[in-house]
Amino acid sequence: MKIRFLLILIFLLFPLCFSYSQEITLKPFIGVSSLPADGDSICAIPFATDMTLESYGYRNGDTIPDFTLYKVSGEAVNIKAELLKGKPVVLIAGSYTCPVFRGLIQNINQVFIDFHDKVSEYVVYVVEPHPEIDVSPYSAPPGKVWLTKENEAEKILYRQPRTYGDRKKLYNDMLGKINVLPPIILDEPCNNWWTHFGPAPVNAYLINTDGVIFSRHTWFNMDGQSMTRDIRKLLSQTIKFDSSATFTIQTDNNKLRGKPGDTLVFITKMTNTSDKDLFIELKPVEPNLPLSWFLTFCSDGGYPYDMDTLAVYFAPNQTKNLRIYLRARDADSGDFKFEFRNCFNPDNKYQYQYFAYADTSMGGVGDNDAADTKNFDIYPNPASDFIEINVGTRHALSLQNIAIYNVFGNKVEHPPAPSFQEGELRVDVSGLAAGVYFVKVGSYVRKFVKI
C-alpha cells in the first residue's frame, strides 16, 4: 500500500537552567516613568510609509531600550525588572481594531499556556490600525480611512483614542469580547513603544535575559515564523537532563474499527517512572496505510510543527497521553507502528503497533455520494473571509455533505449555509480562528489555511 501522512506534531518545552547576569545594560529609557492620567492626550500618530513594515523596529541581535508601561489597573511593568527575573520576554503588539491580531489570539494564548513558567509574555496595546472615521496609520496612500469588512461585520467600530483613558476604555471593550491570556500593558500617550519597536500592528519580539533580541517577527507567527519554535530554540541552549530517567507506555486499545470517513483516535499513556526530568521522542515507523488515509498525532498541550518527530517533556513522575488521529477516508484497513525513545537513555525505548479498519457495513459515505468531488479545489488559500470549493460541475450537495475539521481531527462548528453557483460552493470562514483546517466534501478532503 502507498502511504500519505499529514504529520502534525506538538512540542512541549522542558524545564531549563538559566544562566544570566544580575547586571543588564539596556539602551536608554524611552517613554514615561509614571502612570499617565486618563485625560492625557494621545500624541500625533505618524504614518507607516513602508507598507512591508520590514524597515521598522529592532533587529535580531539588537539590545532593546529600557521602558515602563502600565496595565489598565495601574500596575507598572518595567522591562529591565522583568529580565532580571531570569526569564526571556515575549512582546506582541496588538489592538482591538486589528482583525489579524484577533485572528491570532488562539496562537498567542497557546504560547502563554505552553511557556508561562519559562517565559514572560506580554501583549502591548498600541495604536488602532483600522479606526472608524479617522485615518489609518497604515493606509496606502497615507491619509485614508481603512475600515475593514471584518470590523464592519463584527461591529468593531471605534475612533482612534484621543486620550489615554479612551485607550483604556477600548481595551476594556476588547476584553469583554476576546479572551486574552497573557497580561496586557498599554503603550503610553505618545506611543513611544510603538514608534521604537514598530510601527507595526502585530509585530513581536523574543528577548533574551540579557536584553538582546533573539527573534523578531514583522507579523507574529506569519511568513514561516513560529514563536513556539523560537522559544524552544532559545531555551534548549541550556538544557540539562539525567540519563537515569526512565518511562513506560500503556494503551487500552491498539485495534480500532470505524466506517469510511471516520476519524479513529488511538490513545497511549506515557509515564515518567523516575524522579528526574525526561524528554521522550516519538515517531511513526513502518507505516502500512492506504493512500487516501492520513495520520496526525499530538501530545497534551503544545503547538503544531510540520516535522516527522514529536518531542515531549515530562516532569518527574508525570503522565501524558499521545493521541493519534487516523482519518479513514475509504473502506480499507491498515497498520502502523510508533517508536517511543528516551532521548537521553538509548536503552529505554518501545515500539508499538496499531491496527485500523474502515468497514462499509458500518455505513459511511458511498462512492456515488462523492462522484463529482474527487478533484475539488479550494481557493483562495490561504483565506480570511471565505473559501470557494470548485467541484467542477453542478452537484446536489447539501450542508450535510460538507464538514470542516481542525488539525486535531475535531469537527468545528458549521459555518453559515453555503451558496452554490456554477459549480462553486462558497463557505464563510471568517469566524474561524487562524490556523490549518481540512474541508471534507463527500468522502474527499482538502487542506486550507485561515489567516
Distance of CA 75 to the CA centre of its chain: 28
**pLDDT in the model for residue 280:** 86
* DSSP, residue by residue, 236-272: GGG----TT--EEEEES-SEEEE-TTEEEEEEEEEEE
Residues 6 or more apart from 150 whose CB is under 8 A from it?
Answer: 99, 102, 156, 384, 385, 430
* Residue 21 lies inside a defined structural domain of this protein: no
Q: Are 120 and 89 in contact (CB under 8 A)?
A: yes
Q: In what order do the strands lie in the sheet with 419-421?
A: 377-379, 386-390, 424-428, 419-421
174 and 251, same domain (yes or no): no
162 and 223, same domain (yes or no): yes
351 and 442, same domain (yes or no): no
Residues 6 or more apart from 319 whose CB is under 8 A from it?
Answer: 269, 270, 271, 272
What is the rounded CA–CA span in Å between residue 147 and residue 141? 14
* Residue 4 lies inside a defined structural domain of this protein: no
E strands of 134-194, at which residues?
184-186
* Residue 10 lies inside a defined structural domain of this protein: no
How many domains in the chain?
A: 3
What is the rounded CA–CA span in Å between residue 235 and residue 181? 22
* Residue 6 lies inside a defined structural domain of this protein: no
Q: At what angle do helices 105-115 and 227-235 cross, to 10 degrees?
A: 20
298 and 341, same domain (yes or no): yes
Q: Are 249 and 62 in contact (CB under 8 A)?
A: no
52 and 117, same domain (yes or no): yes
Low-confidence ranges of the chain (pLDDT < 70): 1-22, 51, 236-241, 300-308, 360-376, 390-401, 407-410, 413-424, 441-445
* Residue 206 lies inside a defined structural domain of this protein: yes
**pLDDT in the model for residue 9:** 33
312 and 413, same domain (yes or no): no
Q: Which of 362, 390, 423 delimits the end of a domain?
A: 362
* Amino acid, single-letter form, for residue 237: Q
* Residues of the domain holding 382: 368-450
Per-residue pLDDT tens digits for 187-213:
999 999 999 999 999 999 999 999 999
In a 10 Å sphere around its CB, with 0-12 CB exposed, 13-18 middle and 19+ buried, how is residue 422 labelled? exposed
What is the rounded CA–CA span in Å between residue 424 and residue 28? 58
**pLDDT in the model for residue 417:** 52
92 and 146, same domain (yes or no): yes
Q: Which of 324, 345, 362 delimits the end of a domain?
A: 362
* CATH number of the domain to which 374 belongs: 2.60.40
* Residue 8 lies inside a defined structural domain of this protein: no
**pLDDT in the model for residue 117:** 83
**pLDDT in the model for residue 300:** 61
* Residue 54 lies inside a defined structural domain of this protein: yes
342 and 374, same domain (yes or no): no
178 and 85, same domain (yes or no): yes
* Residue 264 lies inside a defined structural domain of this protein: yes
Going by the DSSP 8-state scheme, the letter that residue 101 receives in this structure is H
Q: Are 393 and 384 in contact (CB under 8 A)?
A: no
* CATH number of the domain to which 277 belongs: 2.60.40.10
Q: Which of 238, 259, 278 delimits the end of a domain?
A: 238
312 and 394, same domain (yes or no): no
Q: Are 246 and 230 in contact (CB under 8 A)?
A: no
441 and 328, same domain (yes or no): no
* CATH number of the domain to which 40 belongs: 3.40.30.10
301 and 424, same domain (yes or no): no
The pTM assigned to this predicted structure is 0.55
